[in-house]
C-alpha cells in the first residue's frame, strides 16, 4: 500500500513534469513500470494494471508511446515480435544491453555491460546506435 502510493506519486510527478496531461491511465501505467525491474510487454502491463481501471488496448499503446517520447520509459525489441517496456532510471539514460531468457522470456537490463566501444563499419556507413541482446537462461531457469 505505502509503496504503491509512493510510486503513484512519483509517477504523477514525472508525468506532470513532462508537460503533458496528467491522467489516471498514464499514472497507473508508469507506476506499473516503476514497480517492475524487468522489461515487460504490453500484455503484461495490462495484466498488472488495477482491475478497477478500465483501459483500452489502444490507449495503452498510445500512453506507452507518449512515455517513451518523454524519455520516462524505453522500449526494447525482441525476437518474439513484442516490444518490452521499462522505466528509465539514471542508469538507463545511456545505451545498455539486455538479457532475455530463452525459456521463460523474461528480459532484464544489463546496465553494467559497456557497449560504447567503437563498432567498425564498412566505408560510407554511419553509426547511430547499437542493439545488443544476450540470450540464455536466467537464474530461475538454469
Kindly state whether residue 129 participates in binding a second copy, applying the rule CB under 8 A: yes
SS3 for 2? helix
* CB of residue 15 to Zn ion, shortest distance in Å: 32
Contact segment (CB under 8 A) with a second copy among 1-9, 34-42, 54-62, 115-123 equals 115-123
DSSP track, 6-34: HHHHHHHHHHHHTTS---HHHHHHHHHHH
Query: Which is nearer to Mn ion, 63 or 109 (by Cβ)?
Result: 109
User: In angstroms, how far is CA 73 from the centroid of its own chain?
Assistant: 5
Instruction: Select from 8, 39, 24 the least CA-distant residue to 111.
Output: 39
User: For strand 84-87 and strand 97-101, is the pairing parallel, antiparallel, or unpaired?
Assistant: unpaired
What is the Cα–Cα distance from 58 to 77, expressed in whole angstroms? 19
Give the C-alpha separation, 52 to 21, whole Å.
Answer: 21
Q: Interface with a second copy includes 52 (CB under 8 A)?
A: no
Tell the smallest beta-carbon distance from residue 32 to a second copy (Å). 23
Nearer to Zn ion, 53 or 141 (CB): 141
81 contact, one of Mn ion, DNA, Zn ion, none, CB 5-8 Å limit per kind = DNA
Per-residue binding string, DNA, 31-70, x by CB under 7 A, is ----------xxx----------xxxxxx-xxx-xx----
* Minimum distance from residue 117 beta carbon to Zn ion (Å): 23
Alpha-carbon distance 23 to 130, whole Å? 34
Q: How many residues bind Zn ion (CB under 5 A)?
A: 5
List of residues contacting a second copy (CB under 8 A): 77-79, 81, 97, 99, 102, 108, 110, 112-113, 119-139, 142
Amino acid at each position: 500500500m505505502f509503496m504503491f502510493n509512493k510510486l503513484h506519486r512519483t509517477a504523477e510527478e514525472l508525468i506532470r513534469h513532462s508537460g503533458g496531461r496528467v491522467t489516471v491511465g498514464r499514472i497507473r501505467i508508469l507506476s506499473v513500470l516503476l514497480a517492475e525491474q524487468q522489461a515487460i510487454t504490453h500484455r503484461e502491463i495490462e495484466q498488472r494494471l488495477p482491475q478497477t481501471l478500465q483501459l483500452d488496448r489502444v490507449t495503452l499503446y498510445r500512453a506507452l508511446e507518449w512515455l517513451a517520447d518523454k524519455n520516462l520509459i524505453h522500449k526494447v525489441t525482441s525476437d518474439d515480435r513484442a516490444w518490452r517496456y521499462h522505466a528509465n532510471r539514471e542508469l538507463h539514460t545511456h545505451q545498455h544491453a539486455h538479457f532475455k531468457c530463452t525459456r521463460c522470456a523474461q528480459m532484464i537490463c544489463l546496465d553494467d555491460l559497456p557497449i560504447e566501444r567503437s563498432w567498425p563499419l564498412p566505408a560510407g556507413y554511419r553509426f547511430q546506435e547499437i542493439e545488443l541482446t544476450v540470450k540464455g537462461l536466467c537464474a530461475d531457469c538454469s
